[in-house]
Amino acid sequence: DSGVTQTPKHLITATGQRVTLRCSPRSGDLSVYWYQQSLDQGLQFLIQYYNGEERAKGNILERFSAQQFPDLHSELNLSSLELGDSALYFCASSAGGAGMLVTEAFFGQGTRLTVV
């Protein structure tokens, strides 16, 4: 158990809909990262938050947004969903990531999103 909790584990929704994925980081970790993994693809970095602030943005579509709350949990919002958004979405947390060395990241089990 990595200590990172992602909910829900599975999500099936229709095109055009909006979903919210939730992540609770490991206790004490201030950095949260979101990644997208499509079939046979590596992990595409979407966005990083550190202690409530957005710190880095990767290949995140404008239809996607995220935030990190004061209790450090994070949510990834995906809207106007398309078939191509079907993927595994991972959240990871680490102790560092802002002004300090990045140490190992701890991953949740992911949310498998299927858009039909």
Partner 1 sequence: SQQGEEDPQALSIQEGENATMNCSYKTSINNLQWYRQNSGRGLVHLILIRSNEREKHSGRLRVTLDTSKKSSSLLITASRAADTASYFCATAAYSGAGSYQLTFGKGTKLSVIP
The contact set with partner 1 (CB under 8 A) reads: 2, 4, 33, 35, 41-43, 45, 48, 50, 55-56, 58-59, 88, 90, 92, 94, 96-110, 112
- Rounded Cα–Cα distance for residues 83 and 86 (Å): 6
- Rounded Cα–Cα distance for residues 1 and 71 (Å): 21
Which residue's CB is nearer to partner 1, number 62 or number 104? 104
- Rounded Cα–Cα distance for residues 56 and 86 (Å): 23
| Shortest distance in whole angstroms from residue 5 CB to partner 1 | 11
| Shortest distance in whole angstroms from residue 34 CB to partner 1 | 11
Which residue's CB is nearer to partner 1, number 33 or number 64? 33
| Shortest distance in whole angstroms from residue 50 CB to partner 1 | 7
- Rounded Cα–Cα distance for residues 27 and 25 (Å): 6
Which residue's CB is nearer to partner 1, number 81 or number 111? 111
User: Is the omega angle on the peptide bond into residue 8 within 30 degrees of 0, that is, cis?
Assistant: yes
- Tokens linked to 34: 């979101």
